[in-house]
A and B are shown apart, each in its own frame.
Chain A
Amino acid sequence: MKVRLTRGTFLKYAFTYSIALSLLFMGIRFLQSRSWFLSVFFTSSACILIYLYTFHKKVPAKYLVPGVLFLVLFQIYPSFYSGYVAFTNDSNGHEISKSQAISTIVENSNVPFNNAGPVIFKVAIENNSKKLFLIFEYPKNSWWAGNSSSLEQLQVSQIVKSSDSSIEKVHGFRLLNSNETEAVSGDLGDIQVKLKSGLVLQAQDLQTLQVFKPSMVYFPAKDELVNVESGVRYHPNNNGQMVSQSGEALFPGWKTTVGWRNFTSIIHNADIRHPLLKVLAWTFLNAIILVALGFLMGLCLALIFNSPLLYSRRIYRTIFIVPMAIPSVLSVLVWSGLFTAQTGVIDRIFHISTPWLTDSLWARVAVLIVELWVTFPYMFLICTGAIQAIPNEIIEAAEIDGASPLKVFGLIKLPLVMRTVAPLLVASGAMALNNFGVIYLLTGGGPTFPNTNGNAGATDILISYTYKLAFNSQEGSNYGLASALSILNFILIGLISVYGLRRMKTMEGVN
């Protein structure tokens, strides 16, 4: 067999393999950081790439796989992660793991001990174990070498002092100089030396330790925290928190799975349900009005400006594309400036004083106006396309038969246009449910509903409300609930899209 290695194939293989190997490398990295899914993903992607582009003969996969890999990593994996979060209590106060939470509780219970002044320490490496130790004297005349896991008492004879009574040498250890100490400062900060008496010493800077007396002690075997002063015992409850029998809960709590609680709370908890129902109603109302009005506007414009009689139709068509071409992040912010009440441009033009953005009704109107402004060019374009696609013969034939223009429109043009654009309208409706840009930038979902604990507002749609729950600090983020809502949102949109798909003509090609 003859090996033919042109420059093209060489480059192709060099390219494929370097990508595959980078992926492999990344897989190992993720293995080290214990991200199992990502590790498996990267390793197997590397294998798939090598297999596909070296050994495989089948063509479709070569074209499909890169896209699919991207899809899995950047879309499906984050979606599944959100799905997982929906079953946890991830929220303010429950953001860290259980072991982190318990060590934080214990550490926070540390009280500086009896005005024990700072204790000077040196950093040393034990000759045998090569481990990092802190060398210190506490109380007077007892010398210790300790770290988080072990504590050794030192004999006075082991310590060699210099003329200014600072430690110069410790037998069995190698003292670190100041540069070396700086280099390990990160590790030093985490070291807690626990004396037999229960006292804890912790470095405060690179020279001194502080003595603490912890008032909480954790017993891993029984999984309980005990307050050594009061004797109260704390046990974990099913919501990721240590609680005493009297019901006193310790902070911080930790993140844990809570089953379907986030979903059931949507139904059972009136504080969540009431605003949510209002938000849902507006979500659908907004999408339906937007699509209906947008389509109507687009259709009318398309009919008017498609007529060849109109001299300047090219200019108008150009003008109508403008909203599409201005980055909407910027244009919506400009709109928000124009909507300022009383002094704002819009109010001054029409000589009105409207509480745009602060009154529920007017804020909704404002949102619709801006959304319409953003979407009508698209509607205009698809309607124009659909009208142009109608074969001229049909219309001419109808006209010869003596049909009035109104009849031509109602019985021929409209049904044909609808047939073309209906799936696109369903798609736009689904997009509208998921599109929070305008709302977020224009009203921020406001004005908020009265007397609800929550930031749900009159112009909030489901997705913007979800965003607030997850990120807005005012509500105290509740990531778990937000994820549950985003799944709800996904199901809603999915159902609508599947319905739209069934009606889509392209489905005919899928067989």
Chain B
Amino acid sequence: MACFALFPLVWMISAAFDVTGQISTQQLIPLHRGLANFTQLFSNKEKPFFTWVRNSMVVAICAAAMQTIIGASAAYSLSRHRFRGRKLTLTTILIVQMFPQLLAATTLFLIINTFGKTFVFLGLGHQLPLILIFGGAALGVNTWMLKGFFDTIPSEIDEAATIDGAGHFLIFTRIIVPLAVPVFVVISLLSFIGILNEYLITSVILGLDGKNMTVAVGLQQFIYGQYGKNWGPFTAGALLATIPVLALFMFLQKFLVSGLVSGSTKG
């Protein structure tokens, strides 16, 4: 099992250090070892790897934060308040996310294009509109998970705080949020990796200009053509991009088990 789990990672490492750059004919311990793939990756001016990493991080961190904040505040209101249309809202946000967003890429492109004519920084080729688009996906399964978790926090706590004179904002930020940290971690982490993985809408909005691409879009360029698959720099880049994410997961793994289950099943 462990072999299965690690299988591609091992070959990714092996191919990254193999200067011949052919994953399909790879030996586990490469015959020609070297760092050529890495130097090739770093020196390519049309494909600036570190800029891609920075782009990816900016987009994924901002958007994951946005998704979590928007999702959490919506979940707070859905969990703590009773109002008309509440049940409908809950069902709608879940169903809407099921609509295939593939075909939406063109519509989104046109919206963002018009944005850009009004505010340059909201236009195509900028990261902010992409972050906003991902932010639009905040209401969904995550909101359900958060709401499920908030429901488990006894409302007596809020009531006590209200008697002490705390407003709704204070209750939310000082009481609810700190209690829900594990769920927040899991949701942010899943959002983060989801956004890191996205390439269709990302490439439509950011464009395929070398300096605008994210890691996911950019690295694919190395093996884009069926003919000139350039595995060496691809695997080298994939490896470098994987390490920080992997580290993040390792670091936060104790939250994963509890967070994933608690939200959806009321603990």
Asked if chains A and B are in direct contact (CB within 8 A), the reply is yes
Instruction: Determine whether the beta carbon of A67 is less than 8 Å from that of B74.
Output: yes
Instruction: Determine whether the beta carbon of B101 is less than 8 Å from that of A319.
Output: no
Instruction: Determine whether the beta carbon of B98 is less than 8 Å from that of A494.
Output: yes
Stretch of B30-38, B41-49, B246-254 that contacts chain A: B246-254
Enumerate B72-92 residues with CB–CB distance to A below 8 Å: 73-74, 76-79, 81, 83, 86-87, 89-91
Instruction: Determine whether the beta carbon of B87 is less than 8 Å from that of A510.
Output: yes
Count of chain B residues near A, Cβ 8 A: 97
Instruction: Determine whether the beta carbon of B11 is less than 8 Å from that of A338.
Output: yes
Instruction: Determine whether the beta carbon of A67 is less than 8 Å from that of B139.
Output: yes
- A362 close to B (CB within 8 Å): no
Instruction: Determine whether the beta carbon of B26 is less than 8 Å from that of A73.
Output: no
- A257 close to B (CB within 8 Å): no
Contact of A326 among B93, B108, B246 (CB under 8 A): B246
Nearest Cβ on chain A to B149's Cβ, whole angstroms: 10
CB-defined interface of A22-43 with B at 8 Å, one 1/0 digit per residue?
1001100110010100100000
Nearest Cβ on chain A to B236's Cβ, whole angstroms: 11
Contact of B70 among A61, A66, A423, A466 (CB under 8 A): A66
Instruction: Determine whether the beta carbon of A33 is less than 8 Å from that of B74.
Output: no
The SS class assigned to the B binding surface is helix
26 pairs, A vs B, C-beta closer than 8 Å: A26-B115, A59-B168, A63-B73, A67-B138, A70-B139, A73-B136, A78-B107, A79-B99, A85-B103, A316-B2, A318-B250, A321-B250, A322-B5, A326-B8, A327-B238, A329-B216, A331-B238, A376-B5, A378-B260, A423-B265, A434-B98, A466-B103, A467-B102, A470-B102, A482-B103, A486-B99
* Complex Cα gap A454–B83 (Å): 50
5 closest Cβ pairs, A-B complex: A74-B136, A385-B261, A78-B104, A337-B23, A63-B77
Contact of B9 among A322, A437, A497 (CB under 8 A): A322
Within 8 Å CB of A389, what residues of B? 261, 265, 267
The SS class assigned to the A binding surface is helix
Within 8 Å CB of B132, what residues of A? 70, 74
- A343 close to B (CB within 8 Å): yes
CB-defined interface of B210-240 with A at 8 Å, one 1/0 digit per residue?
0000011001100100000101001100100
Stretch of A155-163, A260-268, A501-509 that contacts chain B: A501-509
Within 8 Å CB of B168, what residues of A? 59
- B166 close to A (CB within 8 Å): no
- A324 close to B (CB within 8 Å): yes
Instruction: Determine whether the beta carbon of A494 is less than 8 Å from that of B95.
Output: yes
Nearest Cβ on chain B to A340's Cβ, whole angstroms: 4
Contact of A490 among B99, B235, B245 (CB under 8 A): B99
CB-defined interface of A307-344 with B at 8 Å, one 1/0 digit per residue?
00000000011111111111111110111011010011
Within 8 Å CB of A124, what residues of B? none
Instruction: Determine whether the beta carbon of B103 is less than 8 Å from that of A486.
Output: yes
- B125 close to A (CB within 8 Å): no
Instruction: Determine whether the beta carbon of B11 is less than 8 Å from that of A81.
Output: no
- B57 close to A (CB within 8 Å): no
With contacts defined as CB atoms under 8 Å apart, how many contacts are there between chain A and chain B in the complex? 268
Q: A64-B74, A434-B98 are in contact. Are A334 and B235 (CB under 8 A)?
A: yes
Instruction: Determine whether the beta carbon of B2 is less than 8 Å from that of A319.
Output: yes
Instruction: Determine whether the beta carbon of A301 is less than 8 Å from that of B1.
Output: yes
- A88 close to B (CB within 8 Å): no
- B40 close to A (CB within 8 Å): no
Nearest Cβ on chain B to A85's Cβ, whole angstroms: 7
Instruction: Determine whether the beta carbon of A334 is less than 8 Å from that of B118.
Output: no
Instruction: Determine whether the beta carbon of A385 is less than 8 Å from that of B70.
Output: no
* Complex Cα gap A489–B99 (Å): 8
Within 8 Å CB of B25, what residues of A? 340, 343
Instruction: Determine whether the beta carbon of A345 is less than 8 Å from that of B26.
Output: yes
- B242 close to A (CB within 8 Å): yes
Nearest Cβ on chain A to B115's Cβ, whole angstroms: 7
Within 8 Å CB of A385, what residues of B? 257-258, 260-262
- A250 close to B (CB within 8 Å): no
Enumerate A58-116 residues with CB–CB distance to B below 8 Å: 58-64, 66-68, 70-71, 73-79, 81-82, 85
* Complex Cα gap A494–B99 (Å): 8
Within 8 Å CB of A272, what residues of B? none
- A384 close to B (CB within 8 Å): yes
5 further contact pairs, Cβ within 8 A, besides A64-B74, A334-B8: A67-B70, A74-B137, A324-B249, A333-B234, A470-B103
Contact of B241 among A38, A316, A327, A328 (CB under 8 A): A327
Nearest Cβ on chain B to A11's Cβ, whole angstroms: 14
Instruction: Determine whether the beta carbon of A420 is less than 8 Å from that of B249.
Output: no
Nearest Cβ on chain A to B25's Cβ, whole angstroms: 5
Within 8 Å CB of A378, what residues of B? 260
Give the most central of A75, A389, A430, A497: most B CB within 10 Å.
A75
Within 8 Å CB of B73, what residues of A? 63-64, 66-67
